[in-house]
Structure 1
Amino acid sequence: MKKVMAGALTATLALSMAACGGSENGNGGGGADASGKTTLEVWAWEPTLTDVAEAFEEKNPDITINITNVGTATDQYTSLNNALSAGSGAPDIAQVEYYAVSQYAVSNSLMDLSEFGADEYGDFYTPGTWSSVSINGGVYGLPMDSGPMALFYNKEVFDQAGVTEPPTTMEEYYEAAKKIRALGPDYYITCDSGEPAPEELMMWVAGGTPFQVDGENLTINLTGDEGVQQVVEWWQRMVDEDLIDTHTPRWSDDWSRKLNDGTCASLTIGAWMASMFDDNAPDTVGQWRAAATPVFDENNPLNGEDGGSTLGIMASSDKAEAAWKFIDFAAHSEEGIDIRVDQGQFPADNATLESPEFLEITNEYFGDQKYNEVLSESAAAVFTDWQFLPYDVYARSIFGNSFGPAALGDATFADAVASWEQELIEYGKQQGYTVNE
């Protein structure tokens, strides 16, 4: 699998062998030190894990959890790939987003947790999260949180436009977009500048299966996939009619400003956004609501997963048993899960999503709506046949090269899909995969 790892260490990740690969692993020769204590190195950006670690250490005084934030998402993967390539410096445990799990699983960098009994946990987690960690018969992480997609909309703006009920289908969404656009020159139903989210994720919602992974055999078929083509047709119509703000990237200052003043009137985004609205749009308390993602086929309502992450054990760790105890506590025990959920993280386990305490939560920001009822149903609707490429980190990094021009009207979305498909096929072949087109 050296060719797979080589693929993970190229392109836009801009890996430098000196970045962190020159440091020693720090794992020692046999787990515990002279005092009998074991220190686990954990790379994670999620702040709630600090409280989880403290609770774990109280119950396991012989294990110390050292959490290091080496960067969020892609930045962490860059550092992780450097360490793996150098053969030293990797942590014992890493936080890995669902779309990146496959990359580390197929390269044998993540440990198969089945030996600890994780393969019996399937019913504990939501369908979407479990399918993302279950690869080629193994289990390569425990779901820590999830991001089922939902429609968050500014009810005040929607009402002003005459959209009194949230759209449930993409056709209704299109009609709502026209009414909101009529409110004024700056009003749009949403903002999208050709980013992987939400466009790639809408392919998931449409029931697309453009990527099929069978070991080293890949099938990449974006141009011939029915779900993908539905998104292409719909998105092209929205852009052609100037119904989407294509000039405002997500997470930019302008994006937050437009959420705050209502000119970006909705988002199709992961459920975790519920805990982030008050930071990005502090002046819109009481205006926002949550609804199910608009679907392409009302007779077959499907959903996608936007974000969320796992805790996985690196195969290079010599402290696997202690590492398993920690991730099992953090992602599988009621106490570990409650610590994170109480701080606003969206759970990945069915028990929490179905609990009255969770479902009854209200928030002034959402007009005292029981928004978790909507988000829980969204989690249950995630389409589990979707697969990620074993180099999806790279795939997302080049997404904008093709879809950015299409969003700005300089190319069609059909062209964008064909271009992205060809780049992914060529890259897969370069890494030694057998790619069926």
Structure 2
Amino acid sequence: MRTNSTRRLLGAVATACVLAIGATACGSSDPATDGGTEKDVASALQKGGKVTVWAWEPTLKKVAADFEKKYPKVDIELVNAGTGDKQYTALQNAIAAGSGAPDVAQIEYYALGQFAIGKSVEDLSGYGAAAYDKTFTPGPWNAVKDDKSVYALPMDSGPMALFYNKKVFDKHGLEIPTTWDEYVEAARTLHKADPKVFITNDTGDAGATTSLIWQAGGRPYKTKDTDVSINFGDAGTKTYTNTWQKLLDEDLVAPISSWSDEWYKGLADGSIATLAIGAWMPANFTSGVSSASGDWRVAPLPQWTKGDTSSAENGGSSLAVPKAAKNKELAYAFIKYATTGAGASARVAEGAFPATKADLESKAFLETPFPYFDGQKANKIFADSAANVGTGWSYLPYQVYANSVFNDTVGKAYVSSTPLGKGLEDWQKKTAKYGSDQGFNVGK
């Protein structure tokens, strides 16, 4: 759930920046500072200097050390300014103050739009970033660009898969569900056999909900400059709500919040039997559910239509260069290194899940056994999922705010008789009003 600091952040972004789109917007309006070239980047590396990186992702420590070894004149300073919203608040405050902004900032995909439309981050096309359109998998690449601009380079990705407790499934004679209808039947069988066992947990999560709508073919958000449309009445959304409502109506979902102590306990003791979540989850099983090592496995995400192979992204972040950065050319050189080639491979070796096709397709990556999953080569499933992420998805340019009011609207479906579809309708109205109040042209 998002905090009040998120709301202040979005208010600052929208009020200061949105109405200026197409003119100077936020950030510098001096063409001389609005992006360099590949030649400028090469010259900057020869000259050297300091690059300040705000990020919480731990594998960047290895990347920074390798980069400094390759370019001895460059000093990379990693700063953890807080995760997610905390960093975004600090970043926006620095931008508004005109001082203190980093040269590189880690920004999650769902949050990037607010900085892009506010002209707070560099368009990296001039540096050559557009040439990487075939380097990254579709989901992350689509999240960092629009028709003409590239606002960041993808650092990782979260193609979805189904994590399931094989020990529990074997005990109750269940087959792995290949469709969501089969998933509902498995939920019924489990809960009937043991009322203490649930197919999954859910108390209302914006990221999980939108990811499953994405997989179902829903495209509720469309954005072009300041024109925004929000429509949770489309066919894909209805496909999702029709199925998920059955799980809620029949009390087949554990009313437990993800990442809580109770959640970890449920994963460990088998009372939560599956998770549909991003490919970054294995490390969390290893560190947080160590007692269940060997019990869990990975399977492809169930499909809304039998025989399909569609997937979606759940999580992931990028590296961007703020407009207020002092060393933009060096900053781009670093994010290029960190997200492609040797830098990306080094991060994968440290446990990150890649957004680069080359790493996803490498034999070493695909053949990596996961001891936690009893030696299963789960990366093959994750890689297939990444290749089948549905195209055309976009977030709102104020998605951070939208997510912050999810539990005030859709969340009611988990604690009252409010239908899930009605909750999404209320979410749509609330986020549409907010967008209109901030100067967006909001339609349906």
TM-score (norm 2): 0.89
Rounded Cα–Cα distance in structure 1 between residues aligned with 2:421 and 2:9 = 27
What secondary structure sits across from 1:42 in the alignment?
Answer: strand
- The equivalent of 1:279 in structure 2 is 287
| Residue identity (%) | 42
Deviation at residue 276 of structure 1 after TM alignment = 1.6
Q: Aligned partner of 1:358: which letter?
A: F
CA contact (8 A) 1:190 1:267 kept: yes
TM-score (norm 1): 0.91
Rounded Cα–Cα distance in structure 2 between residues aligned with 1:324 and 1:201 = 30
Asked if residue 350 in structure 1 is aligned to residue 357 in structure 2, the reply is yes
Deviation at residue 37 of structure 1 after TM alignment = 4.7
Q: Aligned partner of 1:221: which letter?
A: N
What secondary structure sits across from 1:151 in the alignment?
Answer: strand
- The equivalent of 2:70 in structure 1 is 59
CA contact (8 A) 2:6 2:85 kept: no
User: Among residues 174, 188, 204, which one is paired with 2:198 in the alignment?
Assistant: 188
- The equivalent of 2:383 in structure 1 is 376
Rounded Cα–Cα distance in structure 2 between residues aligned with 1:138 and 1:257 = 45
Listed as ranges, the matches of 1:172-183 within 5 Å are 172-183=182-193
| The structure with more helix, counted as a fraction of residues | 2
- The equivalent of 2:234 in structure 1 is 225
Q: Aligned partner of 1:110: which letter?
A: V
Deviation at residue 301 of structure 1 after TM alignment = 3.1
CA contact (8 A) 1:162 1:179 kept: no
Rounded Cα–Cα distance in structure 2 between residues aligned with 1:342 and 1:180 = 38
Rounded Cα–Cα distance in structure 2 between residues aligned with 1:273 and 1:431 = 36
Rounded Cα–Cα distance in structure 1 between residues aligned with 2:351 and 2:190 = 31
| Cα pair distance change 1:304/1:187, threshold 3 Å | same
Listed as ranges, the matches of 1:91-102 within 5 Å are 91-102=102-113
What secondary structure sits across from 1:236 in the alignment?
Answer: helix
- The equivalent of 2:315 in structure 1 is 307
Rounded Cα–Cα distance in structure 2 between residues aligned with 1:368 and 1:425 = 47
CA contact (8 A) 1:239 1:409 kept: no
Q: Which runs of 5+ in 1 are unaligned?
A: 1-7, 18-28
What secondary structure sits across from 1:47 in the alignment?
Answer: coil
What secondary structure sits across from 1:283 in the alignment?
Answer: helix
What secondary structure sits across from 2:229 in the alignment?
Answer: strand
Rounded Cα–Cα distance in structure 2 between residues aligned with 1:10 and 1:133 = 21
Give CA deviations for 1:359-408 in whole Å, capped at 9, x if unaligned: 10112211211101000000011111111010011111111111222012
Rounded Cα–Cα distance in structure 2 between residues aligned with 1:402 and 1:203 = 17
User: Among residues 7, 10, 18, which one is paired with 1:11 in the alignment?
Assistant: 7
- The equivalent of 1:140 in structure 2 is 151
CA contact (8 A) 2:6 2:400 kept: no
Give CA deviations for 1:90-115 in whole Å, capped at 9, x if unaligned: 11100011111111111111111110
- The equivalent of 2:138 in structure 1 is 127
CA contact (8 A) 1:9 1:82 kept: no
Deviation at residue 182 of structure 1 after TM alignment = 2.3
Asked if residue 209 in structure 1 is aligned to residue 219 in structure 2, the reply is yes
Q: Aligned partner of 1:237: which letter?
A: K
CA contact (8 A) 2:103 2:327 kept: yes
Structure 1 stretches of 4+ moved >3 Å: 12-17
Asked if residue 328 in structure 1 is aligned to residue 336 in structure 2, the reply is yes
Give CA deviations for 1:180-208 in whole Å, capped at 9, x if unaligned: 21232221011110111321211111010
Aligned length: 414
Rounded Cα–Cα distance in structure 2 between residues aligned with 1:242 and 1:10 = 32
CA contact (8 A) 2:202 2:257 kept: yes
| Cα pair distance change 1:116/1:68, threshold 3 Å | same
